[in-house]
Amino acid sequence: MLVDAPAKLNLSLRVLGKRRDGFHKVETLMTPLRGLSDHLHFEPAEQYHLDCDEPGVPTDGSNLVTRAVRLFEQESKEKVGYRIRLEKNIPHGAGLGGGSSDAAATLLGLNALYDEPIDFDKLSQMGASLGSDVPFFFFDEACWCRGRGTDVEAAGIEWNETVLLFKPAFPVSTEQAYKRWKFSREHADIPYGAQEIAGVKMVNDLERPVFEKHLFLAILKRKLLATEGVAGAMMSGSGSTVFAVLEEGVDGEKLAEKVKSETDPEMWTWCGQAG
């Protein structure tokens, strides 16, 4: 069996303060990127085993796929007898939710393979215990995610804009981004304000702490906003991906090569439709 694990974009991310449990209270609007997905291949086996085609991705108990498998075994009382091959297309540490999506896809895939012993609400709770973004990936549409990100509500919107993603080689630590949020400062010449695109006010409160530490990302956003054919630009999640919303008819591949040649020729890029 093959299960797709799509990436996500944060179209809006507001940090509303710190909770008693140590997490931050957020309100974020997220949308799936259907054309950018990891793929999980489930193959019958005598016992569970995880393989991954990307060097450097751990395949031990620290991987969210394995953690999801063990949690499913615990809650369903089933012993998982599948080899999972994880085909990675979503970059790590990018603010695109790759690991969280993999975990959700694992839970959904196993639940289907074992004749759905766990109902949706319980599956969502299990996902929340693995990571704040995981419950979002049980939905197939744009959603508002509140609380620490695990309270998910369908947004009831269609945001089908063409986006161009740029990710430099370095990752960004989500934990450190939130830790630095309260006391971080803005760069004087970088735009942080809300941008309205197709009825959505795009703003990301984590740009301030992340840009303070990673000036390259701030410069990249500023450059994208000044580039012809770009309707808006913002960092996704805690980064390090910065995305541009393209105007109609713009050649994304040409624009990507132009920006890379002027900033970092080695950057990973992807162009496609959100929503």
Choose, from 102, 133, 167, 205, the residue flagged as catalytic. Answer: 133
4 φ/ψ angles, rounded to the nearest 5 degrees: -85, 145
Q: Exposure string (b/e) for 38-62, b if CB count within 10 Å is 16 or more?
A: bbbebeeeeebbbebeeeebeeeee
Task: State how far the Cα of 164 lies from the Cα of 261, in Å rounded to an integer.
Answer: 15
260 is catalytic: no
Task: Give the total residue count for the chain.
Answer: 275
The single residue of 8, 88, 167, 221 carrying the catalytic annotation is: 8
Q: At what angle do helices 252-262 and 215-225 cross, to 10 degrees?
A: 130
**Helix ranges restricted to H, the chain:** 64-76, 98-113, 120-130, 174-181, 207-213, 215-225, 252-262
213 is catalytic: no
Token pair belonging to 73: 């075994």
What residues are labeled active site? Answer: 8, 133
